[in-house]
Structure 1
Amino acid sequence: MKFNTLKRHIREGVKNLGRSGWMTFASLSAVTVMLVIVGFFLIVFLNGNHLASSIEENVEIRAFIEHGTNEEQISELIQEVENETNVNDIAFIDKEQGLENLIASTDIEAYNSLRGESPLRDALSITAASPQMTESVATAIDEHQYIHGVEYGAEILPDLFQITNTGRIAGTIVIGALLFTAMFLISNTIKLTIVARKKEIQIMKLVGATNGFVRWPFFIEGMLLGLLGSIIPILLIGFGYHFAYSETAGFFEARQYSILSPDQLIIQISVLLASVGLLVGIWGSVMSVRKFLKV
């Protein structure tokens, strides 16, 4: 395609936006509203998935060591546990440190008198290579010599994983349904803009215009509709999430969790929304023009 021809197509595509008037406004409104909804649910879904992953990563196995186990035996035990399949990390917590952790987490002053003669057991804090492997790893560690017992939340762990997995599946389905709905509504609104000018297309074909010559201005128009319609959702989502993050980040940090920072998220969401707008705009225009090219 010659450069002058491309310039002509771009110029015509831009002019078409003004010629369509209210139809252009309707298309831009449809793109804007649907992308705002999609962007909002994407923010919720991605942060929900991040929180679920954080909760799962905090799952650990606490293996308590028999009283009277000496340092050499503890070193041998640690080496054996490190060699276990699917063990990701291991840390030794002596009984005095365990008592300090207990005092810090409960603020019960009576525990202060136990300093220096902690009744607790030395313990190993272990994380599995995958949270879903926690139970099998805990079972294997419990069979080691010098291990008095293990704790890993056996009563709640299956329910926890079921909740997080169900949340991910439900979120994926909702986002997929929203994207499909957005594509359907936006493309059909854009199609109405094109259909309103079907006589113009047919006349161009009758005087000898090629399919490509007819199609390109509408291709540019659809692309511009999608791109322009994504600007407001990107700005709303960007500024809105910055505000929400500043208001809620401290709440989650106080509970040792976090939500995705705007720097991590906004660029990704912006690129995704702009891409969806562009693709849907182009697709709606091309599919609408195609039916009028056979004259």
Structure 2
Amino acid sequence: MPMKSGDRIPGGLTVIITLIILCACALIGTLVLQGQDIEVSTLFNGEDEKNILSIKDYHSSQPTATAFQPISAITSQPTLLAPTATVMAPINPTATPLPLPSPTPAEIEIPASHYISGVFGLQQLTTLDCEARSAVDWARYFGVSIDEVEFIDKIPLSDDPEIGFVGDINGAMGQLPPDSYGVYPPPIAAILREYGLNATAVSNFTYEDLQREIANDRPVIVWIVNLPFEIEPDVYTASNGNTVPVAPFEHTWIVSGYNLSTVTVVDSEWTYNVKLETFLERWAVFDNRAIILQD
């Protein structure tokens, strides 16, 4: 029977309607959760032509999903970066190597023996002119020709043999200053320098130094006690206060060679060998005085 306005809905019907509404709400909620796109008016308008799509129909209507295929990883081989070394130009210009310094005389190796050819002497003009004779013969070896008489005239006179000739050049042999005696290296070297030779007077010159001079083909004038006379060393003080070693038969030789046991000397017109021990003993009396040629 139709209900009239103002009639109350029976209690049982109210419960049924309420349950229907609740079920409809639950169904809508479920469909929403399943992601369905539904018009709510279809449920309440009762339009039969619009059916609710089931879950199965929904999925069948969707495009087939292609399973995710990960892009295959490109396995790259590590490339070893070997940097090419670049030769850098030097900041400073290339330095030219400096020549090695020439060895000093003390560094030159001394040979066991050496002899200088071309050294010879002439006979003395007077009894005590041995220093002048040796000087002139020594200069000749180095290419300088000197007249001995001219050379003798240049030697100053003094009672000090370091300054000039002591006594008379024609005097007797075997005397001591201030009698007729001789002259030492400094005045003789000074005269030789007048002729362009770099002659140098030395004392306390070692035998090794002498050997080096000979090994370099430079003969040396030495002051010794002459053979075969006894060695009688003494000390003399000149008027100027200078004190020097002296001995009878003071003499000069030119050393032109040596070996392990002898020394070769030029004595005026003679050339001969002297035992090394004898040479060193007679040279030491005058403190190893000598004249050498310096470069």
TM-score category by the smaller chain? under 0.3
- TM-score w.r.t. the length of structure 2 is 0.18
Calculate the TM-score normalised by the size of structure 1. 0.18
Structure number with greater CO (CA < 8 Å, separation at least 6) is: 1
Q: Which has the larger radius of gyration?
A: 2
